[in-house]
Amino acid sequence: MTKIKLCGLRRAEDIEAANLLKPDYIGFVFYKKSKRYISFEQARILKSMLKVKAVGVFVDENPKVVADLLEKGIIDLAQLHGSEDEAYIRDLRKLTDKPLIKAFQIKTAEDLKKAEASSADMILLDAGTGDGVSFDWNMLKSFNRPYFLAGGMSPENVRPAIEKFHPYGVDVSSGIETDGVKDVEKMRAFMTNARFDG
Protein backbone atom coordinates (compact mmCIF):
# COMPACT_ATOMS: atom_id res chain seq x y z
CA MET A 1 0.00 0.00 0.00
CA THR A 2 1.24 3.48 -0.90
CA LYS A 3 2.71 5.37 2.06
CA ILE A 4 1.20 8.76 2.89
CA LYS A 5 2.97 11.79 4.34
CA LEU A 6 1.05 14.88 5.41
CA CYS A 7 3.64 17.64 5.64
CA GLY A 8 3.84 21.03 7.30
CA LEU A 9 1.78 20.32 10.42
CA ARG A 10 2.07 23.13 12.97
CA ARG A 11 -0.87 23.12 15.38
CA ALA A 12 -2.30 20.80 18.01
CA GLU A 13 -5.46 20.41 15.90
CA ASP A 14 -3.32 19.29 12.93
CA ILE A 15 -1.87 16.54 15.12
CA GLU A 16 -5.31 15.50 16.39
CA ALA A 17 -6.51 15.19 12.78
CA ALA A 18 -3.43 13.15 11.84
CA ASN A 19 -3.96 10.80 14.80
CA LEU A 20 -7.51 10.20 13.58
CA LEU A 21 -6.62 9.80 9.90
CA LYS A 22 -3.47 7.71 10.49
CA PRO A 23 -1.11 8.67 7.65
CA ASP A 24 2.19 6.80 7.71
CA TYR A 25 4.13 10.00 8.37
CA ILE A 26 3.64 13.66 9.16
CA GLY A 27 6.22 16.36 8.50
CA PHE A 28 7.55 19.15 10.71
CA VAL A 29 9.27 21.91 8.72
CA PHE A 30 12.37 23.32 10.40
CA TYR A 31 13.29 25.73 7.60
CA LYS A 32 12.97 29.26 8.97
CA LYS A 33 12.06 30.80 5.60
CA SER A 34 9.04 28.51 5.23
CA LYS A 35 5.57 29.71 6.19
CA ARG A 36 5.15 26.28 7.80
CA TYR A 37 8.22 26.63 10.02
CA ILE A 38 8.01 25.43 13.62
CA SER A 39 10.66 25.57 16.33
CA PHE A 40 12.31 22.50 17.79
CA GLU A 41 10.42 23.14 21.05
CA GLN A 42 7.06 23.32 19.25
CA ALA A 43 7.94 20.06 17.50
CA ARG A 44 8.80 18.41 20.81
CA ILE A 45 5.39 19.34 22.25
CA LEU A 46 3.50 18.23 19.13
CA LYS A 47 5.48 14.97 18.92
CA SER A 48 4.41 14.12 22.47
CA MET A 49 0.78 14.13 21.20
CA LEU A 50 1.49 12.29 17.94
CA LYS A 51 0.65 8.63 17.23
CA VAL A 52 2.40 8.28 13.83
CA LYS A 53 5.98 8.78 12.67
CA ALA A 54 7.33 12.33 12.41
CA VAL A 55 9.67 13.48 9.65
CA GLY A 56 11.79 16.58 10.20
CA VAL A 57 12.25 18.65 7.04
CA PHE A 58 15.60 20.49 6.87
CA VAL A 59 17.35 22.74 4.37
CA ASP A 60 21.16 22.67 4.65
CA GLU A 61 21.04 22.32 8.44
CA ASN A 62 24.10 21.42 10.53
CA PRO A 63 24.25 17.59 10.61
CA LYS A 64 24.73 17.66 14.40
CA VAL A 65 21.43 19.52 14.83
CA VAL A 66 19.60 16.99 12.63
CA ALA A 67 21.15 14.02 14.44
CA ASP A 68 20.35 15.51 17.85
CA LEU A 69 16.63 15.79 17.03
CA LEU A 70 16.62 12.23 15.69
CA GLU A 71 18.44 10.80 18.69
CA LYS A 72 16.16 12.67 21.13
CA GLY A 73 13.09 11.19 19.40
CA ILE A 74 11.63 14.58 18.49
CA ILE A 75 11.56 13.23 14.93
CA ASP A 76 11.80 9.66 13.60
CA LEU A 77 13.23 10.41 10.15
CA ALA A 78 15.04 13.36 8.57
CA GLN A 79 14.16 14.78 5.15
CA LEU A 80 16.97 16.75 3.53
CA HIS A 81 15.47 19.36 1.25
CA GLY A 82 18.44 21.57 0.39
CA SER A 83 21.72 21.10 -1.43
CA GLU A 84 22.92 18.29 0.87
CA ASP A 85 25.29 16.04 -1.06
CA GLU A 86 26.71 12.54 -0.53
CA ALA A 87 29.41 13.91 1.80
CA TYR A 88 26.73 15.50 3.96
CA ILE A 89 24.80 12.22 4.12
CA ARG A 90 28.00 10.35 5.11
CA ASP A 91 28.66 12.88 7.88
CA LEU A 92 25.11 12.57 9.15
CA ARG A 93 25.29 8.77 9.14
CA LYS A 94 28.29 8.95 11.48
CA LEU A 95 26.01 10.68 14.00
CA THR A 96 22.78 8.69 13.63
CA ASP A 97 21.47 5.47 12.11
CA LYS A 98 17.92 6.82 11.76
CA PRO A 99 16.35 6.81 8.26
CA LEU A 100 17.13 9.64 5.87
CA ILE A 101 15.01 10.93 3.00
CA LYS A 102 16.73 13.08 0.36
CA ALA A 103 14.50 15.38 -1.67
CA PHE A 104 15.35 16.21 -5.27
CA GLN A 105 13.92 18.97 -7.42
CA ILE A 106 13.15 17.35 -10.75
CA LYS A 107 13.47 19.44 -13.88
CA THR A 108 15.49 17.21 -16.22
CA ALA A 109 16.32 13.53 -16.77
CA GLU A 110 19.73 14.30 -15.23
CA ASP A 111 18.00 15.23 -11.96
CA LEU A 112 16.33 11.81 -11.95
CA LYS A 113 19.71 10.11 -12.43
CA LYS A 114 21.08 11.93 -9.39
CA ALA A 115 18.06 10.90 -7.34
CA GLU A 116 18.38 7.28 -8.42
CA ALA A 117 22.04 7.22 -7.31
CA SER A 118 21.47 8.76 -3.87
CA SER A 119 22.70 6.80 -0.84
CA ALA A 120 19.77 8.05 1.26
CA ASP A 121 17.37 5.40 2.61
CA MET A 122 14.50 6.98 0.68
CA ILE A 123 14.16 9.69 -1.93
CA LEU A 124 11.48 12.27 -2.57
CA LEU A 125 10.87 13.75 -6.02
CA ASP A 126 9.53 17.29 -6.02
CA ALA A 127 9.13 20.25 -8.32
CA GLY A 128 9.94 23.02 -5.89
CA THR A 129 9.88 23.89 -2.23
CA GLY A 130 6.37 23.31 -0.93
CA ASP A 131 4.75 25.69 -3.40
CA GLY A 132 2.16 23.24 -4.74
CA VAL A 133 3.67 22.97 -8.23
CA SER A 134 4.23 19.61 -9.93
CA PHE A 135 6.89 18.53 -12.40
CA ASP A 136 6.25 16.47 -15.53
CA TRP A 137 5.39 13.14 -13.92
CA ASN A 138 5.66 11.38 -17.28
CA MET A 139 9.44 11.55 -16.81
CA LEU A 140 8.99 8.83 -14.17
CA LYS A 141 7.96 6.06 -16.57
CA SER A 142 11.43 4.50 -16.72
CA PHE A 143 12.48 5.41 -13.16
CA ASN A 144 13.43 2.29 -11.22
CA ARG A 145 13.85 3.32 -7.59
CA PRO A 146 11.06 3.57 -4.99
CA TYR A 147 10.25 7.22 -4.26
CA PHE A 148 7.89 9.64 -2.56
CA LEU A 149 6.02 11.74 -5.12
CA ALA A 150 5.59 15.37 -4.06
CA GLY A 151 4.83 18.73 -5.60
CA GLY A 152 1.32 19.69 -6.58
CA MET A 153 -0.31 16.69 -4.85
CA SER A 154 -3.98 17.19 -3.98
CA PRO A 155 -7.07 15.15 -3.05
CA GLU A 156 -8.07 15.38 -6.72
CA ASN A 157 -4.90 14.06 -8.36
CA VAL A 158 -3.48 11.64 -5.78
CA ARG A 159 -5.44 8.59 -6.93
CA PRO A 160 -4.62 8.98 -10.66
CA ALA A 161 -0.96 9.57 -9.72
CA ILE A 162 -0.82 6.37 -7.66
CA GLU A 163 -2.65 4.35 -10.33
CA LYS A 164 -0.32 5.55 -13.09
CA PHE A 165 3.08 5.72 -11.39
CA HIS A 166 2.85 3.46 -8.32
CA PRO A 167 5.11 5.57 -6.10
CA TYR A 168 6.36 4.17 -2.80
CA GLY A 169 4.70 7.14 -1.12
CA VAL A 170 2.92 10.45 -1.70
CA ASP A 171 3.67 13.70 0.11
CA VAL A 172 1.27 16.63 0.37
CA SER A 173 1.37 20.02 2.05
CA SER A 174 -0.32 22.97 0.33
CA GLY A 175 -2.85 20.61 -1.29
CA ILE A 176 -4.47 19.98 2.11
CA GLU A 177 -4.64 23.64 3.16
CA THR A 178 -7.23 26.40 2.98
CA ASP A 179 -5.86 29.93 3.30
CA GLY A 180 -2.47 28.58 4.41
CA VAL A 181 -3.87 26.45 7.24
CA LYS A 182 -4.31 22.67 7.30
CA ASP A 183 -7.92 21.77 6.45
CA VAL A 184 -9.22 18.60 8.12
CA GLU A 185 -11.71 17.88 5.33
CA LYS A 186 -9.00 18.15 2.67
CA MET A 187 -6.73 15.96 4.80
CA ARG A 188 -9.49 13.38 5.03
CA ALA A 189 -10.24 13.53 1.30
CA PHE A 190 -6.56 13.09 0.46
CA MET A 191 -6.27 10.07 2.76
CA THR A 192 -9.43 8.48 1.35
CA ASN A 193 -8.33 8.95 -2.25
CA ALA A 194 -4.79 7.71 -1.56
CA ARG A 195 -5.93 4.65 0.37
CA PHE A 196 -8.08 3.17 -2.40
CA ASP A 197 -5.32 0.68 -3.21
CA GLY A 198 -5.26 -0.93 0.20
Exactly one of 7, 14, 76, 171 is catalytic; which is it?
A: 7
Give 60's contacts (C-beta < 8 A, 6+ positions apart): 82, 83, 84
**CA-CA distances (angstroms) from residue 177 to 6, 111, 131, 181?**
11, 28, 12, 5
Catalytic residue flag (residue 7): yes
Reported in sequence order, the residue ranges of the chain that DSSP labels E, i.e. its strands, are 3-7, 25-29, 53-58, 77-80, 100-105, 122-126, 148-149, 169-172, 177-178, 181-182
Catalytic residue flag (residue 179): no
DSSP designation for 118: -
Exactly one of 76, 126, 171, 197 is catalytic; which is it?
A: 126
Instruction: Count other Cβ atoms within 10 Å, centred on residue 25.
Output: 21
Residues acting as catalytic residues: 7, 126
